[in-house]
């Protein structure tokens, strides 16, 4: 069985930020989708996320056009993270105002045979809605998540923790890129959601799942997710990319 997909992306500044430091890419012709959440003063976060999004999307598009798949695509993903890191370093070297800037990155590539390759660093997320159940596919690179993983903090205590914003991995000039690269499968009926933390820090998983499962057009679902996050406070920029997997 072969698959196809439809997709949509949307971003919003939220209710408390002056600028939007998120970036996203949807390239449905090639099955490339990503979100990035930048950080840093003097608009540096916006520059970091856009720079990384553009660099990684370009590398993957070139690889797709050259016929890369499987392990070759995994190598491209890893290589693209290093290329993006180098681009950040060069930007910081050229202008000291951007020193210390960085960004998260969550990227997903799907093919028509139902294979899915995921690259992830930071705390943006990839979710999959399958048979009515929402599953978080990526694993947050945060101090709080590390404490949970090592048994020093419960899941309940982690919710809303004051240090939940501290990242343990990020694409920046200060550290070598350490990207998780995963492989998975998708099937008709699945719905993928890539999102920055401005979404899931405002609304919980069950609410995200309910909104994502709507039969409304994808653009309306994206709007509903963003509206819900803003109604809950809109403390950060909010970005979502939705991919609906279909037969054919």
Residue 208 in contact with residue 214, Cβ under 8 Å?
Answer: no
Task: Tokens 């491209």: give the residue.
Answer: 76
pLDDT the model gives residue 96: 84
pLDDT the model gives residue 157: 67
pLDDT the model gives residue 164: 72
pLDDT average per 10 residues of sequence, the chain (248 residues): 96 94 98 95 85 97 94 92 94 87 96 96 97 96 82 74 81 88 96 97 96 98 98 97 96
pLDDT the model gives residue 185: 96
pLDDT the model gives residue 146: 83
- Phi first, then psi: what are they for 244, rounded to 5°? -100, 120
Task: Tokens 């690179």: give the residue.
Answer: 141
- Dist CA 246 CA 172 (whole Å): 36
Task: Tokens 């899941």: give the residue.
Answer: 155
CA distances from 51 to 44, 48, 57, 194 (A): 10, 5, 10, 18
pLDDT the model gives residue 42: 60
- Dist CA 3 CA 74 (whole Å): 21
Domain of 178, in residue numbers: 3-247
- pTM score of the predicted model: 0.95
pLDDT the model gives residue 177: 86
Residue 188 is part of a domain; what is its CATH number? 3.60.40.10
Tally of domains within the chain: 1
Three-class DSSP category at 225:
helix
């Amino acid at each position: 069985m072969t698959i196809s997909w439809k997709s949509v992306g949307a971003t919003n500044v939220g209710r408390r930020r002056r600028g939007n430091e998120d970036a996203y890419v949807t390239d449905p012709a090639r099955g490339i989708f990503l979100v990035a959440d930048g950080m840093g003063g003097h608009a540096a976060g916006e520059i970091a996320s856009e720079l990384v999004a553009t660099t990684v999307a370009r590398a993957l598009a070139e690889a797709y056009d050259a016929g890369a798949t499987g392990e070759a695509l995994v190598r491209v993903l890893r290589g693209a993270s290093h290329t993006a890191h180098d681009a950040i370093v060069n930007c910081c070297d050229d202008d000291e105002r951007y020193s210390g800037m960085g960004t998260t990155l969550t990227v997903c590539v799907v093919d028509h045979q139902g294979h899915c390759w995921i690259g992830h660093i930071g705390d943006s997320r990839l979710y999959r809605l399958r048979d009515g159940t929402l599953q978080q596919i990526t694993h947050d690179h945060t101090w709080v998540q590390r404490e949970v993983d090592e048994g020093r903090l419960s899941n309940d205590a982690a919710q809303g923790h004051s240090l939940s914003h501290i990242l343990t991995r990020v694409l920046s000039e200060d550290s070598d890129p350490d990207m998780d690269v995963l492989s998975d499968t998708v099937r008709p009926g699945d719905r993928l959601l890539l999102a920055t933390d401005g979404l899931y820090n405002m609304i919980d998983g069950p609410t995200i799942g309910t909104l994502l499962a709507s039969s409304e057009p994808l653009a309306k679902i994206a709007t509903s997710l963003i509206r819900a996050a803003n109604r809950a406070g809109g403390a950060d920029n909010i970005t979502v990319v939705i991919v609906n997997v279909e037969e054919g």
